[in-house]
Amino acid sequence: MTSILILNGPNLNLLGQRQPEVYGTTTLAGIETACRARATELGLGLDFHQSNSEGALVDLIHGAQGVHDGIVINAGAYTHTSIALMDALSSVALPAVELHLSNIHAREEFRHRSYIARVALGVICGFGPTGYLLAIDALEAHLGRVR
């Protein structure tokens, strides 16, 4: 069975209460439920994780090798800072979709740079929680083409 890993970085555990004017009111648990429903519809396996720690996210990316076929990653603020996450994604050579709830390009200048984008298949941002479903669909379409 084709399987994907969805990774969430720092502060995304606080979705629902964190800056609702930017990130909305849906919790991460709510997003996970919607992702699981979509994966079931598409016949995909799914793992879903959140960590506030950069090293833990690196370990989760390494652990995807040989287990998952692709990764959806909302790396939160590490998107804009983490060469380690970029290198981890390159090292496992799994197709990855970069995802953000907010439109990072319409926000502060420091959010316009993404290390993840350099190694990602593509980037989805600005569609709120729906973006997770779009990312699953995009990855599934890509895997269908390359399989």
Annotated catalytic residue 23? yes
Give the separation between CA 8 and CA 11, rounded to whole angstroms. Answer: 9
82-121 footprint of ligand DQA as x/- string (CB under 6 A) = ------------------xxx-x------x----------
CA angle 131, 120, 115 (to 5 degrees): 100
Please, what is the minimum distance in Å from the beta carbon of residue 85 to ligand DQA? 12
Token pair recorded at residue 93: 């050579």
**Nearest residue (CB) to ligand DQA, 4 versus 99:** 99
Token pair recorded at residue 56: 């833990």
Catalytic residue among 49, 68, 80, 100: 100
Number of other residues whose CB lies within 10 A of the CB of residue 66: 7
**Nearest residue (CB) to ligand DQA, 10 versus 63:** 10
Where do runs of H (alpha helix) occur along 43-129?
A: 54-63, 83-92
The site for ligand DQA (CB under 6 A) is made up of 11, 74, 76-77, 79, 100-102, 104, 111
